[in-house]
Amino acid sequence: MTTMHLVPLLLLVTVSAVEVQRPRGVPLTKKHFYAEGTPFTCLDGSRTIPFDKVNDDYCDCQDASDEPGTPACPNGRFHCNNAGYRSFFIPSSRINDGICDCCDATDEYNSGATCQNTCKELGRQERESLYQLAEITREGFMIKQQLIKEAKKGLEAKKSKVSELGADKKLLEEKVEALRTVKETAEEPEKVAKERHLKAWEDQKAAVRTEKDNARMAEVFLELDDDGDGFVSVTELQSHTELDTDSDGSFTETEAQAILGGLDEADPAAFQAAWKDIKDKFISEAQAPLETPHSEAREPVSDNDSEHYSEVEIPEEEEEDDDLEEEEEDDDHDEADFNTPPAVQEKVDEDEGTMPPYDEETQTLIDAAQKAREEFDTAERALRELDDQMKNLEKETSSDFGPNAEFAYLYNQCYELPTSEYVYRLCPFSRVSQKPKYGGSETSLGTWGQWDGPEGNIYSVMKYDHGMGCWQGPNRSTMVKLKCGKETVVTSTSEPSRCEYLMEFTTPALCQDPKTLDHMLHTEL
């Protein structure tokens, strides 16, 4: 980049120094081919024509050399002197086309276009930007030297760190093995004790369940024994239609009898045999679904929760036959005995689910095993971290950070550029991504691929590929063009082709030795 700008600068300065008469459009270097008054030979030697046919607006030479100052030849080149700026060639088709191309306006001599001579201004701007570029290059190159130094230091440090870590790793591995043994030894008695404790708890729970079931059976027996004669009769059983064996809607005597083991009535002992069959189906009248309550009964009900139970009781009292009132009392009584509605009862079951604390002996064993485990885990984690650290370091030290590792400082860094819609993020040697500014997930525009500059300047372009796939298209990829600059910064992003991104990035690491530049600036300007 730098040198490309400098060569023409040299030219412009020399050319502007002298003004020599020659045919229009001829550069000084070719002046000697065009000798006034002598026949002109086309520069390709194809033919010789009288001199008055040079620039006579008719193309005689195949190579266009007879018409350097007119648009007559399709392949001609016109030389803009551009005194005060860079001289250059334009295609002769741009002569007198009404568009100003040469800053000295010499290309529009017969088109009616009014072109200003802007060469001085352009020259000034060019020199200014060259100075700036020189300045940037100089400072950038200084920074670069520092970067190289640091990179070298860093690299050595990292290499020694790797070998250092290698030694640590060996020790750590031994430690992990030792702790593993300790852990396993402690876990054995812990396991036995824990199992013992668990079994005791299971046994206890089973006992409680049996006891509860018996209590419920008694309650149900009492509920079913309407006449309180100590027997549950077939008729009494039939009042609970939910117990219908075949659920066909009619709970027959035979079915009821079958439940009672063929008996007409069952005493508590006989009932025990039937209980198994009916306990899952049985619905206590106290919890049976309510009939539509009377509206006047609802009226006083407020939203207040505390009054909710009264709503349940009121219709019952009013609806049921007098005969049943006693039973209701029984129900109340039963309820009082259990003192909790079934729903709450279940909760108690859950409460009972909490295993009692370990006995002291078991707890001691557990604590010991836990301690061994934690120590082992800590050691193992440390080993893993160490391993990762080593791998990262090895990867870093073996990466291509440029001829003098001047790009090493970019490793593990990220640089962002917000645009109107997105924030673009470049993490050199890692990835490029794009995140919508106003919400939405991040899109990968590629992961680090390789240096991809042209031959001889391979470190001028980074290529990131295999980003997120595009609909009906390729995976996203990003080309990062590097430029010399004092700052390390992403200067622009674009998507020239669908899902192929272009990013411009300045870094001092790309700044070339400014010696040549300095030399030229000082001697030529």
Partner 1 sequence: MAAFPERMASVLLLWLAVSLTATLAVDRANFKSCDQSAFCKRQRALKPGESPYRALLETMELTNTRLTLQLKNDKNKVRLLLELYRLQGNITRVKINELKPLKPRYEVPDVLIREPPTEPLSLLSQDENGVVLSLGVDSQRVIVSARPFRLDIMQGRDVLLSLNSRGLLAFEHLRLRKDTFFTLITSTFASVWDIVKSVLSRQADGEAEDASLANEEEAVVNEKDEEGMWEETYKSFTDSKPNGPTAIGLDFSFPGVEHVYGIPEHADTLRLKTTENGDPYRLYNLDVFQYELENQMALYGSVPVMLAHNAQRTTGIFWLNAAETWVDISSNTAGKTVFGKMLDYVQGSSETPQTDVRWISESGIIDVFIMLGPTPNDVFAQYASLTGTQAFPPLAALAYHQCRWNYNDQEDVQAVDAGFDEHDIPYDYIWLDIEHTDGKRYFTWDPNKFATPKEMLQSLMDKKRKMVTIVDPHIKVDSNYKIHNGLKSQGFYTKNKDGGDYEGWCWPGSAGYPDFSREDMRAWWASMFAYDQYEGSMENMHSWNDMNEPSVFNGPEVTMHKDAKHGDWEHRDLHNIYGLYVQKATAEGLIQRSGGVERPFVLTRAFFAGSQRYGAVWTGDNAAEWGHLKISIPMCLSMGLVGIAFCGADVGGFFKSPSSELLVRWYQTGAYQPFFRAHAHLDTSRREPWLFGPENTALIREAVRQRYTLLPYWYQQFYHTYRTGQPVMRPLWVEYTQDPATYALEDQFLIGRDLLVHPVTEEGARGVTAYLPGKEEVWFDVHTFQKHNGAQNLYIPVTMSSIPVFQRGGSIIPRKLRVRRSSTCMEHDPYTLMVALDPQGAAEGELYIDDGHTFNFEKKEFIHRKLSFANNILSSLNLSPEAQFSTSSSVERIVILGAKKPTKATLRTADGKSSQLEFDFDTATSVLTLRKPGMNAGTDWSVMLQ
Task: Select 46 or 185, whichever has its Cβ closest to partner 1.
Answer: 46
146-154, 172-180, 490-498, 504-512 -> range binding partner 1 (CB under 8 A): 490-498
Q: Is residue 504 a contact residue for partner 1 (CB under 8 A)?
A: no
Query: Quick check: 71 binds partner 1 (CB under 8 A)?
Result: yes
Applying CB under 8 A, among 392, 443, 447, 475 the residue interacting with partner 1 is 443
Residue type, 457: N
Burial class (CB in 10 A: 0-12, 13-18, 19+), 216: middle
> Judged by CB under 8 A, does residue 254 bind partner 1?
no
> 156-195: which residues touch partner 1 (CB under 8 A)?
none
Choose the binding region for partner 1 from 31-39, 342-350, 434-442, 481-489 (rule: CB under 8 A): 434-442
Under the binding rule (CB under 8 A), the answer on residue 46 touching partner 1 is: no
Q: Which of 13, 56, 145, 284 binds partner 1 (CB under 8 A)?
A: 56
98 binding partner 1? (CB under 8 A): yes
Tell me the three-class secondary structure of 409-466, residue by residue: HHCCCCEEEECCCEEEEEECCCEEEEEECCCCCCEEEEEEEEECCCCCCHHHEEEEEC
Shortest Cβ 469–partner 1 spacing (Å)? 10
Taking residues 452 to 471 in sequence order and writing x for each that binds partner 1 by CB under 8 A, - otherwise, the string is ------------------xx
| C-alpha span between 402 and 451 (Å, rounded) | 9
Please state, in angstroms and rounded to a whole number, the distance separating the CA atoms of residues 485 and 492: 14
- DSSP code at position 477: E
Q: Which of 37, 353, 456, 496 contacts partner 1 by CB under 8 A?
A: 496
| Tokens 């039937």 sit on residue | 274
Min separation Cβ 67 and partner 1, Å: 10
Give the residue from 228, 232, 223, 229 showing the smallest Cα distance to 285: 223
Residue placing its CB nearer to partner 1 in the complex, 2 or 443: 443
Buried b (16+ CB within 10 A) or exposed e, 422-441: bebbbbbbbbbbbeeeeeee
CA atoms of 55 and 64, how far apart (whole Å)? 10
Stretch that binds partner 1, among 23-31, 360-368, 432-440, 509-517 (CB under 8 A): 432-440
97 binds partner 1, rule: CB under 8 A? yes
Which of 99, 198, 288, 312 binds partner 1 (CB under 8 A)? It is 99
Query: Site for partner 1 (CB under 8 A): which residue of 21, 398, 472, 523?
Result: 472
Choices 264-272, 273-281, 299-307, 437-445 (CB under 8 A): range interacting with partner 1:
437-445
Residue window 392-431: x/- pattern of binding to partner 1, with contact defined by CB under 8 A: ----------------------------xxx---------
Closest contact distance (angstroms) between CB of 93 and partner 1 is 5
- Cβ distance to partner 1 smaller for residue 153 or 498: 498
Indicate whether 507 belongs to the interface with partner 1 (CB under 8 A).
Answer: no
Q: Identify which of residues 422 and 429 has a Cβ nearer to partner 1 in the complex.
A: 422
Q: Give, as one character, the DSSP assignment of residue 37.
A: T
Angle subtended by helix axes 308-319 and 322-338, to nearest 10? 150
Residue 501 interacting with partner 1 (CB under 8 A): yes
The residues, any chain, with a CB within 8 Å of residue 86's CB and separated by 6 or more, are 8, 9, 11, 12, 123, 126
Which listed range, 66-74, 117-125, 347-355, 450-458, lies at the site for partner 1 (CB under 8 A)?
66-74
Q: CA 123 to CA 83: how far, in whole Å? A: 9
69 binds partner 1 (CB under 8 A): no
**Binding residue (CB under 8 A) for partner 1 from 30, 33, 57, 173:** 57
In the 8-state DSSP scheme, what is residue 90? E
The answer to the question of residue 495 lying near partner 1 (CB under 8 A) is: yes
Q: Is 74 in the site for partner 1 (CB under 8 A)?
A: yes
Please name which of 459, 441, 437 lies closest in space to residue 450, comparing C-alpha atoms. Answer: 459
Instruction: Report d(CA 340, CA 212) in Å as an integer.
Output: 13
Least Å distance, CB 465 to partner 1, is: 14
Report the residue from 308, 436, 513, 516 that binds partner 1 according to the rule CB under 8 A: 436
Nearer to partner 1, 499 or 510 (CB): 499
Distance of CA 4 to the CA centre of its chain: 41
CA end-to-end distance (rounded Å), the chain: 20
Return left, alpha or beta for 180; rule: phi > 0 is left, psi -120 to 50 is alpha, else beta.
Answer: alpha
User: Considering the complex, what minimum distance in angstroms separates the CB of residue 494 from partner 1?
Assistant: 7
106 backbone dihedrals φ, ψ, rounded to 5°: -70, -15
- How many positions of this chain bind partner 1 (CB under 8 A)? 33
- Tokens for 86? 């860079």
- CA distances for 373 relative to 46, 51, 186, angstroms: 95, 102, 9
**With binding defined as CB under 8 A, does residue 72 bind partner 1?**
yes
User: Rounded to 5, what percent of the chain is helix, strand, coil?
Assistant: 50, 15, 35
Residues that bind partner 1 (CB under 8 A): 56-58, 71-72, 74, 91, 93-94, 97-99, 420-422, 434, 436, 440, 443, 445, 470-473, 476, 494-501
